[in-house]
Structure 1
Amino acid sequence: MHDNTSFDVPTVDISPYLADTPDPAACAEVAAQLDRACRDVGFVQIVGHGIPESVQADLAAALDEFFALPIDTKKAYRRPGENRGYAPPKSESLSMSLGVASASAMNDFYEAITVGSEASDFPGLDLPEVSYPHNTWPVAAPSFREPVEEYFCRAQALSRTLMRAFTDALELEAGYFDTLVDHSIEVLKMNNYALPESEIEMADDLTGMGAHTDFGILTVLWADRVPGLQVLGGDGRWHDVQPAEGALLVNLGDALARWTNDRWRSTIHRVDPPVVDGRIVRRRSAAFFFDGNHDAVIETLPGCVAAGETGYPPITVAENIAAKLAGMKGGVAPAGLREAERVLAAHT
């Protein structure tokens, strides 16, 4: 059952944090709005984010150029087991990142191409290749790289602005997260929901992208304004979400949930096959994952464990990501996750 009753993804204008001389009162109001959104929903619509429409349009054109290539050409950029390169349809299962099996092992029908931060981006640091692998840029799509890199840089800057606002919202001292994100793992996963636009009979086990939480600190999502994205509400039901005009969707990842001991939750979400009037429609998205330093230890923040509560055990960012990727790409399910219990308890 898909029900939107009493469910709303709030919209927050973060432009006060982007002002040349930020006004403390205006920033405090933004921080309070973000705190409410992160407590109540875990998703927020961001406006006043400073990423021009032209940059977003160029990103969309880059996606179109790459995904229009023949499947065999795209597969030349495949890197199985790594969080880089091309992933063809039905090669991943995001629900398995939580240890929740779908009807068939690898049934997510989206295709994707992923790029991210490389070890060479941080000269002087001896960073592990497994967390900061080199990128594979598709030379068969010559106009792809430049607009993708431009959007990547813009999303990086936006993520760091959001970290300043989150620091205020959590009432932490200024710069608290700086040493935890100064060589952050950052990944841009560009998705194409790859079934052709057509009338189809929906199979019961067909999923666009299985139910999952994101792995890192936060995610900035650009997406077409078409159906598909669904968020698991506190009522245990799935609710449809589409980005508002001019907005980017931001959601929390597992690292922030663990840091705050679920004061802020990494909200479970999925993508159903995008269907309008009985027809599959095209849906594109680009998720920028701001994950934190590979060696940053995730342990409960000051003030986030009440008397009688137990915090999450410490884990590094890299360990947390590795466990989730093993499930998503290799079908090796992580055990004992709080998020998995919420997925299994959800109404369908």
Structure 2
Amino acid sequence: MEGYAEVMVERSFVVPSVDIGPYVRGGDDVARTRVAAQIDEACRTVGFFQIRGHGVPEHVTAGLASAIDGFFGLPLEVKNGYRCPPAINRGYTPPKAESLSLSLGVESAARMNDYFEAFNVGVPARTYPHLTLPETDYADNVWPSELDAFASQVGAYFAEAQRVARTLTRVFADALGLPAGFFDAFTDHSLDVLRMNNYALPPDTYTGHGDLIGMGEHTDYGIVTVLWADRIAGLQVLDTRGVWHDVCPDESALLVNLGDLTARWTNERWLSTLHRVKPPIVDGTIRRRRSAAYFHDGNIDAVIATLPTCLAEGEPARYAPITVAEHVRAKLAGSRAGTPNASAEREAARLAAADRAPLS
């Protein structure tokens, strides 16, 4: 099929690759209908796909990579100066300060043991001066003063990723047979965050023994995630049979996965896919890996309820209505504050049924 390719990840598992150019560059109805059908297929069968034709300039992604390298190359004591309290989803997170599995209510062998480090930026409340938004959710960003270009490089990529995420919700509306612009009312002051991740450990800290977790099993929280990542092994996706598979993006492609809120909207017609990051270990040494996840989570006050068009006659909704605030805060309380999330039963059940191959 024109514009659609399948990338072989393992013999029985493929991550679809879709050219969304007809929505980015402008295309006719036939081309957009084809893209929407491909996205629907990917969301129903995998929940992870990669996109080409997204229009993000190479110099912008190169700037993002440079910013990531610059910040994570700073001494730990400098990076720690940009830490924020767990309730504020901004700034620096050092290694072993989070446990993503707790966002599902799943206790791992050791709490707060994911070895990645991260730096978060997001949309501040002052972006929407006509609204009264909670400062904890729409907090101001902290910018490292040691790096002159960091804010501009990250800001340039943030704007592009935001454009891509909003383009994808246009495609989603078409794919689900909803009116054009359906998701706009849920995202006009969206709680969006860019999380830049660094998977590395200082020399001589890995002995090859013990439970080493890059990023624990989890689903993303919001509507859709746009992921830039190095083409280095580590990311794994759980398929519908409960088997984990390695995923690596094509050159210049962006990975996309759905969040819990979309699974709720569609009554799991579309999947919020469980994923994790294994340590990329080569010859006994952890190979450095970088990624940047743009989380498009929706308005904090939006109520997410199952779409009637995603319910067959007599089919019950699998989820009760919930606000974005209620859902995201419960997830963050798990991953960042160590409070297991008690309202992720369906996701936790999928994880319990999975092949529990160890992370190391």
Structure 2 counterpart of 1:339 = 347
- Partners of 2:306 and 2:234 lie apart in 1 by 34
CA apart distance, 1:124:
0.8
Structure 2 counterpart of 1:30 = 35
CA apart distance, 1:344:
1.6
Give the partner amino acid of 2:354.
A
Among 29, 43, 46, which residue is 1:41 paired with? 46
In the TM superposition, 1:124-135 aligns within 5 A as 124-135=130-141
**1:74-117 deviations in whole A, cap 9, x for unaligned?**
00000021210100000001110001111100110000000000
**1:14-67 deviations in whole A, cap 9, x for unaligned?**
0000124x3100000000000000000000110000001111111000011101
Among 81, 91, 115, which residue is 1:85 paired with? 91
Higher alpha-carbon deviation: 274-283 or 240-249: 274-283
Give the partner amino acid of 1:168.
D
Seq. identity, %: 59
Which 5+ residue runs of structure 1 have no aligned equivalent?
none
CA apart distance, 1:342:
1.0
In the TM superposition, 1:266-305 aligns within 5 A as 266-305=272-311
Structure 1 counterpart of 2:105 = 99
- Partners of 1:264 and 1:130 lie apart in 2 by 30
**1:309-331 deviations in whole A, cap 9, x for unaligned?**
33310100111000000000111
Structure 1 counterpart of 2:6 = none
CA apart distance, 1:245:
1.0
Structure 1 counterpart of 2:3 = none
Cα distance change of structure 1 residues 200 and 91 upon mapping to structure 2, 3 Å threshold:
closer
Aligned residues: 345
Structure 2 counterpart of 1:318 = 325
Give the partner amino acid of 1:331.
G
CA apart distance, 1:205:
1.5
Give the partner amino acid of 2:72.
F
Give the partner amino acid of 1:66.
F
- Asked if the contact 1:199/1:278 (under 8 Å) is kept, the reply is no
- Partners of 2:304 and 2:102 lie apart in 1 by 22
**1:249-301 deviations in whole A, cap 9, x for unaligned?**
00000110100011001100000001234431000000000000001101001
Give the partner amino acid of 2:317.
T
In the TM superposition, 1:41-60 aligns within 5 A as 41-60=46-65
TM-score of the pair, normalised by structure 2: 0.93
Aligned to 1:341, what secondary structure does the other structure show? helix
**TM-align CA RMSD:** 1.4
CA apart distance, 1:4:
2.8
Cα distance change of structure 1 residues 241 and 262 upon mapping to structure 2, 3 Å threshold:
same
- Partners of 1:319 and 1:336 lie apart in 2 by 10
- Partners of 1:342 and 1:126 lie apart in 2 by 38
Structure 1 counterpart of 2:162 = 156
In the alignment, is residue 173 of structure 1 matched against residue 194 of structure 2?
Answer: no
CA apart distance, 1:152:
0.2
* Structure 1 stretches of 4+ moved >3 Å: 196-201
Structure 2 counterpart of 1:236 = 242
Aligned to 1:207, what secondary structure does the other structure show? coil
Cα distance change of structure 1 residues 133 and 198 upon mapping to structure 2, 3 Å threshold:
same
